[in-house]
Amino acid sequence: MKPDTNVGDVDDFYSQAVAYIAKLNPPLPENLEAIRNFGIKNKVPIIDDELGFFLKFVCSIFNPGRILEIGCGISYSTHWMLYGSSESKITALDSNRYRLDQCRKYLQLSENVHRVQLVHNWAKDFFEGNSQQFDLIFLDSTKKEYIDLLDDCYLALVKNGLLIVDNIFYNRKIFGLTPDQKKKYGKSTQLLETFNQKIANHPNFSCTFLPMSDGVLVAKRTN
């Protein structure tokens, strides 16, 4: 018989697993550590390390020549992908000029600035003028806008290209909302749920949903 599971057990299991795996992983390179510390100190959102290791691994086996990153922030995820494959070039997009300046600074420090084209723009506006195609798109911008960007991401991916999306659990809000949360996040949670459902049933994507970090989607364009 399966034991009863409650949220406490699950939390316990997940944090134990993350802590255990963190000890197995190699220490972070110095510049990644510096970016992470800056993010934590200044409350700037960055991806979790387990997703960082995953992105690095995917880039190392998939060797995406051209990557589009939507929501590069201060470059934590950018650096993880750059470390994964020395052949990849990244178009890194963010609507926040301050974060993009910080991103450039860290790319200069790690001597990777020549591999990244930084774009200060809104994702939707970028796609309007875009004719490039990408082998991998990493989507980590405003969660309620994912649904609006789905068709654009599809069109900008080559066949067999990968779309990787962070925060598909929306910090657990996708599992249910308290009455207070409903007022504040009801609409955005619904929009993210629509995105998850639409891509799960998309005829031209093959998806895998991973219960890692805040929920990660990996979708391959099949057609």
Ligand X SMILES: C[S@@+](CC[C@H](N)C(=O)[O-])C[C@H]1O[C@@H](n2cnc3c(N)ncnc32)[C@H](O)[C@@H]1O
Is 85 a binding residue for ligand X by CB under 6 A? The answer is no
Examine residue 93 and tell whether it contacts ligand X (CB under 6 A). Answer: yes
Tell me how far apart the alpha carbons of residues 152 and 161 are, in angstroms, rounded to a whole number: 13
Query: Nearer to ligand X by C-beta: 148 or 193?
Result: 148
Q: Kindly provide the b/e burial profile for residues 57-96, where b requires at least 16 CB atoms within 10 angstroms of the residue's own CB.
A: ebbeebebebbbbbbbbbbbbbbbbbbbbeebebbbbbbe
Per-residue binding letters, 25-54, with ligand X (x by CB under 6 A): --------------------xxx-------
Indicate the pairing of strand 157-166 with strand 134-139.
Answer: parallel
- Judged by beta carbon, residue 152 or residue 193, the one nearer ligand X is 152
Among 56, 66, 99, 221, binds ligand X (CB under 6 A): 99
Q: Is 74 an interacting residue with respect to ligand X (CB under 6 A)?
A: yes
Do residues 36 and 28 touch, judged by C-beta distance below 8 A?
yes
User: For residue 50, how many other CB atoms are within 10 A of its CB?
Assistant: 17
- Which window, 12-20, 87-95, 175-183, 214-222, contacts ligand X (CB under 6 A)? 87-95
Return the range that interacts with ligand X (CB under 6 A); candidates 17-25, 56-64, 74-82, 127-135: 74-82
Cβ atoms of 126 and 58 closer than 8 Å: no
Q: Report the distance separating Cα 86 and Cα 169, nearest Å.
A: 31
Closer residue to ligand X, CB minimum distance, 135 or 145 = 145
- Residues in contact with ligand X, counted by CB under 6 A, come to a total of 21
Tokens of 6: 């409650």
Q: Single out the residue of 32, 68, 72, 147 in contact with ligand X (rule: CB under 6 A).
A: 72
Site of interaction with ligand X (CB under 6 A): 45-47, 71-77, 93-96, 99, 122-123, 140-142, 145
